[in-house]
Amino acid sequence: MDHERALSGQSGIVTGRRARLAARARDLADEAASWLRLVPPRLARAARGGGRDPVHVYGLYGADQADSMARAVAELRGSRRPVGLTLGALDEAEPSLADVTAATGMRGGGKFENLNRLLADAPPTGARWVIVIDDDVGLPQGFLDRFLHVAERLGFQLAQPALTHESHAAWPVMRRSRWTVARTTHMVEIGPLTAFEAPVAEALLPFPPLRMGWGLDAHWGALALEHGWRLGVVDATPIAHSSRLTASTYDRAEAVEELRRFLEHRPWIPRETANSVIEKHREW
């Protein structure tokens, strides 16, 4: 069986002046379409009256992206929900993040090995949502309350925000879709930001002992079909993921080999299923 069909088959990296200008134009048009329907102010108002259940956020950051993680943390702390934060520093702790950095010097470990260490040290007890965030994302103002409001209203149990067109995104289905607030999908990615509702978090966490984690989201897609979990991408709260090239910090051949070993005796969905949309939602 060709396990590379668990991958998108494309890099999704947006480079070059012409490609970036075209992507930026699409992002501007998407935002204009959203404002034409008054989605941002309507969603902000709805989220203010939405859920207040606790959230626990885990993440890893390197010295080169410490400022980016600090901005993300500041945005998350502005939520009306109780937000627990547990971070791991690949290098030394960033002073502005010292109060939420539970471990330092983690650069030798793989992403999911390190996340499992954080989960073991600070379990998400009592949290309705567990969120895993990379250190190179840009979150819009009011992100967390609005993102989770849409996810909860649509019954998503495993969710992610859509990615802007200027972002690096291998899976086309994960890029923002115009005229929708969200889409029910067959896949939610392992990053750059993934939200697990408590029952799904209990089933999927801690992560398998992986370093890069390629193919893990394809396995989650198969488990979702088996268990009837509802997966979704929230278009109303897109995030940016463009400051670091995807897979630039590790070897692709090693990542693919890890994928093959991991999926050898596990179910997974192929790229055609992963890139398909089950339902489009114009409202929450």
pLDDT tens readout for residues 89-124: 999 999 999 999 999 999 999 999 999 999 999 999
d(CA 81, CA 62) in angstroms, rounded, equals: 27
- How much is the pLDDT for 225? 98
Judge contact between 69 and 61, C-beta under 8 A: yes
pLDDT-derived band at 12 (thresholds 50, 70, 90) equals confident
Check whether 250 has a pLDDT greater than 90. Answer: no
d(CA 267, CA 279) in angstroms, rounded, equals: 23
Check whether 247 has a pLDDT greater than 60. Answer: no
Please state, in angstroms and as integers, the Cα–Cα distance from residue 254 to each residue in 4, 103, 175, 250, following that order.
13, 26, 26, 8
- How much is the pLDDT for 11? 80
d(CA 263, CA 261) in angstroms, rounded, equals: 6
Check whether 138 has a pLDDT greater than 80. Answer: yes
- How much is the pLDDT for 246? 54
CATH number at residue 31: 3.90.550
pLDDT-derived band at 2 (thresholds 50, 70, 90) equals confident
d(CA 70, CA 134) in angstroms, rounded, equals: 12
pLDDT tens readout for residues 35-59: 999 999 999 999 999 999 999 999 9
pLDDT-derived band at 197 (thresholds 50, 70, 90) equals very high
Q: What percent of the chain has pLDDT over 70?
A: 97
DSSP string, 49-90: TS----EEEEEEE-GGGHHHHHHHHHHHHTSSS-EEEEEEES
Please state, in angstroms and as integers, the Cα–Cα distance from residue 240 to each residue in 22, 191, 208, 216, 229, following that order.
15, 12, 27, 22, 26
Which pTM does this prediction carry?
0.96
Check whether 61 has a pLDDT greater than 90. Answer: yes
Q: Which of 188, 163, 191 is nearest to 175 (CA)?
A: 163
For residue 141, give its domain range. Answer: 3-281
- How much is the pLDDT for 46? 98
Total of domains in the chain: 1
